[in-house]
Amino acid sequence: MTPCQNLSVDFSHVDILHSTGASGYIGGDILSALVEKYPENTYRLLVRSPQSQSQISTKYPSVIIVPGGLDDIELIRHESSNADVILHTADASDHLAAAQAIAKGAIEGHSPDRPAYWLHTSGTGIFSSFEDEENTYGKRSEVTWDDLRDIQRIISFPEHAFHRIVDKTVLDAAASSPDVLKAAIISPTTVYGRGRGPCSQRSRQVYEMAKFILSQNRIPKIGNGEAIASNVHVHSVTALFIQLFDATLERQDKDPLWGSDAYYIAEEGEHCWGEVADTIGKIALEKGYLSSTPTGVLLDKDTAFELAGFEATSWGNNMRCRASRARSFLQWQPIGKSLEEELPEIVDTEYNRFK
């Protein structure tokens, strides 16, 4: 493997560590948009699977594949020490050792004259961490989390909260070396829409719900089905990453874009999980994908997990969020279809996968 070459401070041309996210849903969509907008840049992609390596190289012959995964800590540290921009989207929210390696490498390999930029993917599952103790799981909650208004609460969650220990690692690293490491966390809500990446184009939560309804002819609802979550199209998530990437090229180094409270929620709407389930059932019946009217089934958290996997547990989560930071500081605007508009295509996609 040829080591990365340190670059001079020329931000029209950057090195990128994209982690294994290049083969994933969000990471692949970001890669697609970046290569289209900045084809001249150097892309070094950490990819574990030989099949994914081949798919990515076929679609993007100019990228450099770095064989490895998130457990290859020294490799990640080395790549991070040389990359000008680090895009971390592969299991980024929960793999602590990889985040620690990125932080260490980025700080070791950079200086105030050539800072590292770290765009880190988290998730709004952190806001559902206390639902059991607050007895709101599966019920409607009026609590909303705003990434400007509530930022001090968001970055002060206890470490046992979902994703929090890795979030804290990122933000603490940025706070410890603010002139050397410019970090931002991007936290998508329920993501939907067809991705444009080379390997994975399918999201999870809503798609698994459609799969369940089509295969079981049942409408799943957790609790009373009234939990509400925010959502965002994958293209809108990518647009936020691109705007932050553009900020690195323009050397927009100052807070509030980066730093210990640079936590960006990505959302463009809300949905009630029970209503989404009802709508999917109605669409599937109208399209002739179901032979009879689906029946409702009430689930608790454990049963949902047993029947449909981890993603199904989100069908009872309240995750109501507001993306004020991106709208205020980057003038970010969502660009994708709404979830309601996308549901017929989601139903088609899941039916065609399993027919």
Q: Is the pTM of this model over 0.75?
A: yes
Query: Minimum mean pLDDT among 6-15, 127-136, 236-245, 279-288: which range?
Result: 6-15
Q: Is 273 helix (H, G, I), strand (E, B) or coil?
A: helix
Q: What is the largest CA-CA distance in the chain?
A: 66
Q: Which residues contact 221 (CB under 8 A, 6 or more apart)?
A: 273, 274, 277, 296, 297, 298, 299, 315
**pLDDT at residue 133 is higher than 80:** no
The pLDDT, as a whole number, for residue 51 is 97
Q: Is 39 helix (H, G, I), strand (E, B) or coil?
A: coil
The pLDDT, as a whole number, for residue 353 is 93
* Cβ-contact 166, 99 below 8 angstroms: yes
Q: Which residues contact 26 (CB under 8 A, 6 or more apart)?
A: 89, 121, 188, 191, 195, 234, 237, 238
- What backbone phi and psi angles, to 5 degrees, belong to 41? -75, 160
The pLDDT, as a whole number, for residue 19 is 72
Domain spanning 15-131+145-202+231-269: CATH superfamily = NAD(P)-binding Rossmann-like Domain (3.40.50.720)
What pLDDT, in 10s, does the model give residues 216-240?
Answer: 999 999 999 999 999 999 999 999 9
| Cα 162 off chain centre by | 14
| Cα 47 off chain centre by | 17
Write down the H helix ranges in 94-161: 96-108, 131-134, 151-154
Report the distance separating Cα 202 and Cα 334, nearest Å: 19
Q: Sheet with 228-233: list strands edge to edge.
A: 190-192, 228-233, 269-272
For residues 198 and 15, the model is more confident at 198
Average pLDDT, whole number, for the chain? 92
What pLDDT, in 10s, does the model give residues 82-99?
Answer: 999 999 998 878 999 999
- The pLDDT confidence band at residue 53, using thresholds 50, 70 and 90, is very high
Q: Domain ranges in the chain?
A: 15-131+145-202+231-269
The pLDDT, as a whole number, for residue 22 is 94
**pLDDT at residue 276 is higher than 80:** yes
Can you tell me which residue has the tokens 């709208």? 327
| Cα 334 off chain centre by | 15
Q: Which two tokens stand for residue 261?
A: 């409270």
* Cβ-contact 76, 67 below 8 angstroms: no
Q: Which of 208, 330, 333 is nearest to 277 (CA)?
A: 208
Write down the H helix ranges in 68-143: 73-82, 96-108, 131-134
User: Backbone dihedral region of 19: left (phi > 0), alpha (psi from -120 to 50 degrees) or beta?
Assistant: left
| Cα 253 off chain centre by | 23
